[in-house]
Amino acid sequence: MRTTIRDIALQTGLSVSTVSLVLNHKQHRISEESCDRVFKAAKELNYRPNQAAVSLITKRTNTLGLIIPDITNVFFAEIAKGAQARCQELGNSLILCNTNDNPEKDVDYVNVLLDRGVDGILLVTSVSAGKSSAERCLEILGRSEKPAVLVDREINVGANSASFPGVFSDNEHGGYLATKHLLSLGHSKIGCITGPMGAQSSKHRLFGHIRALQEAGLAFEPSLVREGSYHTESGFRLSGELIDMGVTAIFACNDMMAYGVCRQAAARGIVIPKQLSVVGFDDLPFSEFFEAPLTSVKQPAYDMGVCAVDKIAGIIAFPQEPWESTKFRPQLIIRKSTLAPGV
Amino acid sequence: MRTTIRDIALQTGLSVSTVSLVLNHKQHRISEESCDRVFKAAKELNYRPNQAAVSLITKRTNTLGLIIPDITNVFFAEIAKGAQARCQELGNSLILCNTNDNPEKDVDYVNVLLDRGVDGILLVTSVSAGKSSAERCLEILGRSEKPAVLVDREINVGANSASFPGVFSDNEHGGYLATKHLLSLGHSKIGCITGPMGAQSSKHRLFGHIRALQEAGLAFEPSLVREGSYHTESGFRLSGELIDMGVTAIFACNDMMAYGVCRQAAARGIVIPKQLSVVGFDDLPFSEFFEAPLTSVKQPAYDMGVCAVDKIAGIIAFPQEPWESTKFRPQLIIRKSTLAPGV
DNA sequence: AATCATAGGTAGAACGGTTTACCAAACGCC
DNA sequence: GGCGTTTGGTAAACCGTTCTACCTATGATT
């Protein structure tokens, strides 16, 4: 049996109350000597407080929940890593929930985590066709009184959207940077493979793309835009179509799809960047080591995880204070996959 | 305030005991009618049991802990994904701990998880130079009475090694398969980039490599073996040395390093597989999409995660029964990165 | 009428802590 | 000697469940 506070009380001849007071460093007039005795006994008996008992009374579990679409995706893994690291620094634990991009599971996991009594939830929602599940999540969270922060994926459902703090990338800016880079190299026929249009991030990246185009005085041609799924396969398939249309550059809205583009190019004997320029988004650690090391828009995924935890911790510590969302500025990392066209 | 069992008792006019009995489906003579009343009230009031209170008395948290070196590494992420999925199916939650390959953190996290009262621990140890930290983990776990299972990374520290169940790959066999494949293609000067020798998995893969060599009647030449770190960078660097020595094929003991090899080849204008064959290990989902889609030894990482959770669950359910370790057979996936030499 | 089953349900002690209100002894002071 | 103050410490309620041992009708049996 684990030693309890009672065992310490017995061994020191003090009361349970006293022991608790000492162990929690409450400023309550207890003599030096008693304190020492308690600490000594605690160490000797290797005392560890029973967290269930503590939680029962303090109403805190020092546990946060993280819901993400796919831990196997390095971008999300990076967020998880940052969140976990920060949790540990703050003496919290992190429960991992993986939805496999199934929005129904978002709802399930929100409920599971709430049942478990987590102190807060970090939610990276799955992309859903109808918004219903994201909406339901927010509704449940709203009723729960527990703090939650949206990470990476913005949700816009009427009034709800603004009712939770978030940690996002400025996707519009990222899309703008990527496209402007290609334009500045001299490309004018640029294909764009977007993420699923159900996701705000996808839309914003596309908006940035369009803005850059317009700023350059180019007409935006919808046929050069294809809706992908953020998976490699869709990058492979859709880039085929775009290449057929004669584009000299492709902006893939995430790196995974950019890899697909590279595969397609390789399959056709098209040399990157000589014959085709490619820009990705995310800058996965991997991209650096790619065939033609990938030019990509870097998102600070790890920092976003850290930031999200900090935000939750802040809300827990100061529930009254108003919170605000954070928007990270993405950064263009220029490598070898982009070059002036038509050499 | 969340509704408690007491609220239900009040609303139904029954006692707390009765409500608890009903809600837990204990076969205890309670009339149909009372049961219905309780369930109805529970639903109406949206009752959710307080897990802290339940844990306090049942001594179970329905929570497992997972300690891994790097969630950002797809192989580990895959394990985590499998473990998480199975946990959910069993009504458990999974706490994620990421050590960044720091063996000290293994120890820290084991303690943290034990303090939290997890029901069991899944441990993928970090590679340590001196074995001390792995040993300490096992020692702490041994004292804790909580079940633990070692995943992927075997530990051999005297008597301890066998005192925990494990879920491993047959790394020796994998190394053997990889090398035999290269030999059967006609390669005779094969380089090998191993993982850190502190890890058993690294050693075993090398042993398999050597066995295949000897079986083919080839003298094992130590200079063709280089100790890598399992990171891409080391694959890049060490493959350079091996290529300089004139190898026609390289067995990289994980895919990340194989990517490094591919980079090195590309940098030198060496075409894979025509001029250099490359075999990896892990078969990350990614490898399929690589320059020359990578031939690799596939480990069922996801299944290993699932299996580990099952094992823990089994031990929890039947503490008396003897457990046994599981060793998965890896499988050689032949793609385009290997070819007969000297064309 | 006395005895015994049985059905239906409850009281109350855990579980291991936290925290507040109170207490007793010693001390200082006039 | 009486009174206030400080010092050091404790009793006990409480958190929300679980679960065993017991209780009380009611009907059946002899």
Residue B10 sits at φ, ψ, to 5 deg, of -60, -50
pLDDT band, very low/low/confident/very high, at B161 (cuts 50, 70, 90): low
- The CA distance from A29 to A22, in Å, is 10
Tens-place pLDDT, residues B87-102: 999 999 999 999 999 9
CB < 7 A from strand C, the residues are A 1-2, 4-6, 16-17, 20-21, 23-24, 26, 28, 47-50, 53-54, 56-58; B 13-18, 21, 28-31, 33-34, 53, 56-57
pLDDT in tens, A196-255: 998 889 999 999 999 999 999 998 999 999 999 998 899 999 999 999 999 999 999 999
pLDDT digits (tens, 9 = 90+) for B279-338: 999 998 778 777 678 899 999 999 999 999 999 999 999 988 999 999 999 999 999 888
What is the average per-residue pLDDT within B201-228? 95
Cβ separation B61–A71 shorter than 8 A: no
- Cross-chain Cβ contact B61/A52 below 8 Å: yes
Could you tell me the two tokens for A303? 């920092």
Contact criterion met (CB below 8 Å) for A185 and A340: yes
Q: Are A289 and A259 in contact (CB under 8 A)?
A: no
Mean per-residue pLDDT over chain A, rounded: 92
**Is residue B282 helix, strand or coil?**
strand
Query: Cβ of B97 and A88 within 8 Å?
Result: yes
Is it the case that residue A161 has pLDDT exceeding 80? no
Alpha-carbon span A101 to A67, nearest angstrom: 10
Secondary element (H or E) of residue B252: strand B249-252
Q: How confident is the model at residue A343, as a pLDDT?
A: 54
Mutation site, B98, B102, B239, B303, interface A, largest A CB count within 10 A = B98
The secondary structure of A103-135 as a DSSP string is: HHHHHHHHHHHHHHT-SEEEE-PPP-SSTHHHH
Q: Which residues of B touch A (CB under 8 A)?
A: 48-53, 55-56, 61, 63, 66, 70-72, 74, 77-78, 80-81, 84-85, 88, 93-98, 112-117, 232, 236, 259-260, 263, 266, 285-286, 289, 291
Q: Do B51 and A117 touch (CB under 8 A)?
A: yes
Q: Tally Cβ neighbours within 10 Å of residue A342.
A: 9
Tokens 């003991």 map to which residue? B253
Strands A295-298 and B148-151: unpaired
Residue B199 tokens read as 């890890």
Would you call A71 helix, strand, or coil by DSSP?
coil
Close Cβ partners of A301 (under 8 Å, ≥ 6 residues apart): A75, A76, A78, A79, A82, A282
Give the tokens for residue B209. Answer: 């490599």
B238 or A161, which is more confident? B238
B229: nearest Cα among B206, B204, B252, B263: B252
Contact B95, B65 (CB under 8 A): yes
Q: Cα–chain-centroid distance for residue A88?
A: 17
Would you state the pLDDT for residue B341?
79
Average pLDDT over residues A314-329: 93
* Residue A11: how many other CB atoms lie within 10 Å: 17
Q: Which residue has the tokens 């000594």?
A: A40
Asked if B70 and B249 count as a contact pair (C-beta separation under 8 A), the reply is: no
Instruction: Tell me which chain A residue has its CA closest to the CA of residue B287.
Output: A259
Nearest Cα to B107, choosing from B77, B137, B132, B127? Answer: B137
Neighbouring CB atoms inside 10 A of A156's CB total 11
State if pTM tops 0.85.
yes
Which of the listed ranges A134-138, A200-204, A305-309 does the model predict with the highest average pLDDT?
A305-309
Residue B343 pLDDT? 54
Cα atoms in the Cβ-side hemisphere of radius 13 Å centred on A175: 26
